[in-house]
C-alpha cells in the first residue's frame, strides 16, 4: 500500500500517517522523489486489515490518495520508487546515462594473467575489473579459485590499473573479507536464493550485483533483491545471465533479453547482462552484448582472458583482448545512437 500525501502536507500530518501504520504493526517508509511525500507500507498486509487500514489512511488530514501495490516485492518496485536507482561504484555510476562494462577473467589465476586482462579491459574502455576468487564449480574436481590469495591479487591489480573491482562472495561468513578486497559483491546465479547470504550483504552498504538464478522467475529474482533492500542496502544491480536452456547443444543457457525492458518497467534497479555465461561460447558474446545495449541494459559483465585456450575456468566463453576491444568500439556506436555514453 502507498499513501500519497497532498502537496504541502505538514510534517505533523506525515508523522501521523507513519505512526498510525506502525501502530497497526507494520513498517512505514518515507519514499523519496517528486514534489510531495509518499509513504509506503513495507509489510505484507493481512487481508482483514487492508480495508480498515485504507479507510483509516483516507481519513487522516493531509492524505491525498491511497494506492494498492500490485507486486509481491515492494522496495524493488517502481510503484514504491519511481526514479531510476543509480549505484555509485567508486565514481562509476551504474544505472545512469553511461553504459558500464565490467570485464575480466572468470577466475583470477595468477598476477600475470590478471594484469594482462586488466590492462586490456582498461585500454578498451571497460570500467570495472571482474575476477573470481571463490568459484562455484559444478564439480568438486574443477579449479575452485585461489580464494583469499585471489582476492589480494584482484585488489592489487585493480589499484594498479585504476579500475574498481567485482568478485563473487559464496558464503555469508566471507562477506567482510570479500568487501575488504572488492568494490562490488557478486551474488552468483546458484546463490540467488541463499537467503542468509542475501541478508548478510544487505547489512552492508556495498554495491551488489545480483545474478538471476537459472530457473528463477522475474518475481523470484526481484524478491531476492527485496531481501537485500529490506536490510537497508539500496545498492543493488540486477544481472541477467541466461536461464535454463532449451537446447544445450548450442548454448550453455538461454539469454532472456526481455528481462531488460520488463525490469525497467516494474523496477527502478539497474540491470546488466552477462553474455558470457548466458551463451557459453565466445562466438555469440559480441552479438548478445550489442543486443543487450540496444535493449536498454545499463551495462555488461563480460569474460576476457589473455589466453582463453589455457584458461582454468570458462575459456570457451572468454573473449581475447582484441575481440573485446573491437566489441567495445561497436558498443560505443550503439550507445551513442541511443544517446547513452
Among Mn ion, ligand PEP, none, partner that 188 touches (CB below 5 to 8 angstroms by kind): ligand PEP
Among 184, 314, 319, 327, binds Mn ion (CB under 5 A): 314
- Contact string 85-124 vs Mn ion (x = CB under 5 A): ---------------------x------------------
Among Mn ion, ligand PEP, none, partner that 211 touches (CB below 5 to 8 angstroms by kind): ligand PEP
Q: Which is nearer to Mn ion, 96 or 245 (CB)?
A: 245
In the complex, the smallest distance separating the C-beta of residue 168 from ligand PEP, rounded to whole angstroms, is 6
In the complex, the smallest distance separating the C-beta of residue 84 from ligand PEP, rounded to whole angstroms, is 24
- Contact set with ligand PEP (CB under 6 A): 106, 132, 136, 168, 188-190, 211, 241, 274, 277
Q: Which is nearer to Mn ion, 190 or 332 (CB)?
A: 190
Q: Which is nearer to ligand PEP, 59 or 138 (CB)?
A: 138
Q: Which is nearer to ligand PEP, 39 or 238 (CB)?
A: 238
Q: Which is nearer to Mn ion, 109 or 314 (CB)?
A: 314
* 317 close to 277: Cβ distance less than 8 angstroms: yes
Among ligand PEP, Mn ion, none, partner that 298 touches (CB below 5 to 8 angstroms by kind): none
Q: Which is nearer to ligand PEP, 190 or 290 (CB)?
A: 190
In the complex, the smallest distance separating the C-beta of residue 110 from ligand PEP, rounded to whole angstroms, is 17
Among ligand PEP, Mn ion, none, partner that 168 touches (CB below 5 to 8 angstroms by kind): ligand PEP
Among Mn ion, ligand PEP, none, partner that 189 touches (CB below 5 to 8 angstroms by kind): ligand PEP
Amino acid at each position: 500500500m502507498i499513501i500519497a500525501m497532498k502537496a504541502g502536507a505538514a510534517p505533523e500530518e506525515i508523522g501521523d500517517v507513519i505512526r498510525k501504520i506502525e501502530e497497526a504493526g507494520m513498517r512505514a517508509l518515507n519514499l523519496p522523489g517528486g514534489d510531495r511525500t509518499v509513504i509506503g507500507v513495507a509489510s505484507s498486509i493481512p487481508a482483514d486489515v487492508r480495508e480498515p487500514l485504507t479507510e483509516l489512511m483516507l481519513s487522516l488530514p493531509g492524505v491525498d490518495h491511497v494506492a494498492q501495490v500490485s507486486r509481491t516485492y515492494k522496495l524493488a518496485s517502481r510503484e514504491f520508487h519511481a526514479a531510476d536507482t543509480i549505484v555509485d561504484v567508486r565514481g562509476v555510476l551504474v544505472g545512469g546515462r553511461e553504459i558500464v562494462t565490467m570485464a575480466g577473467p572468470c577466475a583470477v589465476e595468477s598476477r600475470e594473467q590478471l594484469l594482462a586482462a586488466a590492462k586490456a579491459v582498461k585500454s578498451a574502455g571497460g570500467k570495472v575489473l571482474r575476477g573470481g576468487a571463490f568459484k562455484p564449480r559444478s564439480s568438486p574436481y574443477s579449479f575452485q579459485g585461489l580464494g583469499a590469495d585471489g582476492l589480494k591479487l584482484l585488489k592489487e591489480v585493480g589499484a594498479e590499473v585504476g579500475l574498481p573491482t567485482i568478485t563473487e562472495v559464496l558464503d555469508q561468513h566471507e562477506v567482510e573479507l570479500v568487501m575488504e578486497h572488492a568494490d562490488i559483491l557478486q551474488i552468483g546465479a546458484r546463490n540467488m536464493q541463499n537467503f542468509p547470504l542475501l541478508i548478510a550483504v544487505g547489512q552492508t552498504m556495498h554495491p551488489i550485483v545480483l545474478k538471476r538464478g537459472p530457473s528463477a522467475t522475474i518475481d523470484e529474482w526481484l524478491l531476492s533483491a527485496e531481501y537485500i533492500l529490506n536490510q537497508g542496502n539500496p545498492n543493488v544491480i540486477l544481472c541477467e545471465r541466461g536461464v535454463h536452456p532449451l537446447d544445450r547443444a548450442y548454448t550453455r543457457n538461454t539469454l532472456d533479453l526481455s528481462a531488460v525492458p520488463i525490469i525497467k518497467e516494474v523496477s527502478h534497479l539497474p540491470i546488466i547482462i552477462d553474455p558470457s555465461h548466458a551463451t557459453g561460447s565466445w562466438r555469440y558474446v559480441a552479438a548478445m552484448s550489442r543486443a543487450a545495449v540496444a535493449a536498454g541494459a545499463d551495462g555488461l559483465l563480460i569474460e576476457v582472458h589473455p589466453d582463453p585456450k589455457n584458461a582454468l575456468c570458462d575459456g570457451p566463453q572468454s573473449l581475447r583482448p582484441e575481440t573485446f576491444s573491437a566489441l567495445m568500439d561497436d558498443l560505443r556506436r550503439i550507445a551513442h545512437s541511443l544517446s547513452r555514453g
